[in-house]
Structure 1
Amino acid sequence: MNTLVIYTHPNHQSLNYAFLQEVLRGSRENAQVAEIQVLDLYEEGFDPVLVFGEHKRRRDMHTDPALAKYREQLLWADQIVFVYPIWWGRPPAMLLGYIDKMFASGFAYQDKGGLVPEGLLKGKSAVCISTMQGPTHYPLLWLHNAHKVLMRKALLNYVGIRRVKFFEFGNMESKRGKHARKLERIYQFFKTAR
């Protein structure tokens, strides 16, 4: 299994970075994982801004040479792991910009004239690891699971990725946030994931 980890947090002293390290530690100890790549969107200087005009059209984005490296990573990966904070009830704009650019028509899905397009990233799995300041159940109770609906239904299922696992960790800025237990949970999951 090839694992691509997409890390989206500007601070390498953050708990998100600690979660990234546990993903890597567990994956390296997992005999099922052949290779791991990390894409740190902030460190990479990824440009999340969509710009279109007369000479650059959205329908041609799937062939944009500036994005070829990232398309190759997604095609290479059997498992895609997203590590990010929840800000204002959703992933950071940096990650959303990556999604806008990378999960494009002609690459991640194609219209067949029916009600739902055909997902072109079938057979892959995804894991979303997110942190938030508020309580763990805040997105469910107050936002009607908007974050999971966005990531699972509007994105991953749409492009053919059916196996999706979520880890949503709340109270991450509290001293009583049980950080060590949550980090251990991520390590154990990736150590045994298939």
Structure 2
Amino acid sequence: MKKIIVVYCHPYVNSFNHAILEQVINNLKQQHLNPEIIDLYAEQFNPVYDQEELQLFHSGQTHDPLVTKYLNLLRQADGIIFITPIWWNSIPAMLKGFIDKVMKEGEGLTHTVTKTGIRGELVNLKRAYVLTTSTSPTFYLRWFCGNAVQKIFIKTTLKQLGIKSGKWQNFGGISNAKSAKRNAYLQKIAEMPFHF
């Protein structure tokens, strides 16, 4: 059974993002995929890359046991799903800190620095899905805010880590969305085919 890492990034358990998380977990199980959840807020992950962490960088070590745990999970998985809100047109600081700390500590594990750039080592992660919510409409994020999730997070950052394929799906205009629209979206997530 394929193992799928779900990185969940929202502080409020009653949020719409949490409802998406629940649908994703059920969906993966129905597709005979094995979800492993990384709940950054619930696990009290510290996203700050501090001085002590930097001093340990070249030895490939960390003083944060969650970083070691997350690295091990990532290296044993077949795919990854991110569930996060979009704040200020990009991913939240908590998720950015996850990328900064876990991936930077993993030089030689998540990536290798070469003369021509970064070569990703997480080739075991066949595909990434990035499921987001935003106050802004999706078209606004794509055409007026630089399309940061698709262009930078998926096609640059994740690709540099070795994840060659990624799909972004956003529920825009969440603040004004009626219950019927929210429920229809959750049903869509419940039936969404995940390919890894």
TM-score normalized with structure 1 length: 0.90
- Tell me the CA shift for residue 64 of structure 1: 1.6
Can you list the C-alpha shifts for 1:113-169, whole angstroms capped at 9, x where unaligned? Answer: 2x2322101141111000001111111121121222221133110011012111111
Matched residue, 1:23? 24
Partner AA of 2:103 in structure 1: F
The answer for the alignment partner of 1:183 in structure 2 is 186
Q: Distance in 2 between matches of 1:82 and 1:72?
A: 17
Change (3 A) 1:55 1:13: closer
Partner amino acid, structure 1, of 2:30? E
Structure 2 unaligned residues grouped into runs of 5+: none
Provide closer, same or farther for how the CA distance between residues 165 and 54 of structure 1 changes in structure 2, counting only shifts above 3 A: closer
- Secondary structure of the corresponding residue to residue 110 of structure 1: strand
1:58-110 per-residue CA deviation (whole Å, 9 max, x = no partner) reads 434x4225221111111111111100000001111111101101112322110
User: What amino acid sits opposite 1:23 in the alignment?
Assistant: V
Decide whether the 8 Å contact of 1:85 with 1:92 is kept in 2.
Answer: yes
Determine the C-alpha separation between the residues in 2 that align with 1:101 and 1:41: 13
Q: Taking structure 1 as reference, are residues 54 and 88 closer, same or farther at Cα in structure 2, changes over 3 Å only?
A: closer
Contact 1:52 1:58 in 2 (8 A): no
User: Against the structure 1 CA distance between its residues 41 and 55, is the aligned structure 2 distance closer, same or farther, given a 3 Å change threshold?
Assistant: closer
Alpha-carbon distance, 1:54 to partner = 9.8
Deviation at 1:186, TM superposition (A): 1.3
> How many residues are treated as equivalent by the alignment?
189
Listed as ranges, the gaps of 5+ residues in structure 1 are none
Q: Does 1:97 align with 2:119?
A: no
Match of 2:82 in 1: 82
Distance in 1, matches of 2:168 and 2:52, equals: 37
Where do 1:62-73 residues align within 5 Å?
Answer: 62-64=60-62, 66=65, 67-73=67-73
Distance 2:54 2:122 in 1: 28
**Residue 9 (structure 1) aligned with residue 10 (structure 2):** yes
Tell me the secondary structure at the aligned position of residue 137 of structure 1: helix
Aligned counterpart for 1:143 among listed residues 138, 142, 145: 145
Could you tell me whether the CA contact under 8 Å between 1:4 and 1:79 is conserved in 2?
yes
Distance across 2 between alignment mates of 1:145 and 1:128 = 13
**Deviation above 4 Å: which 4+ runs of structure 1?**
none
Higher RCO structure (Cα 8 Å, ≥6 apart): 1
2:123 is matched with 122
* C-alpha contact (below 8 Å) 1:86/1:130 kept by paired residues: yes
**Equivalents in 2 of 1:110, 1:138: separation in Å?**
35
2:157 aligned residue: 155
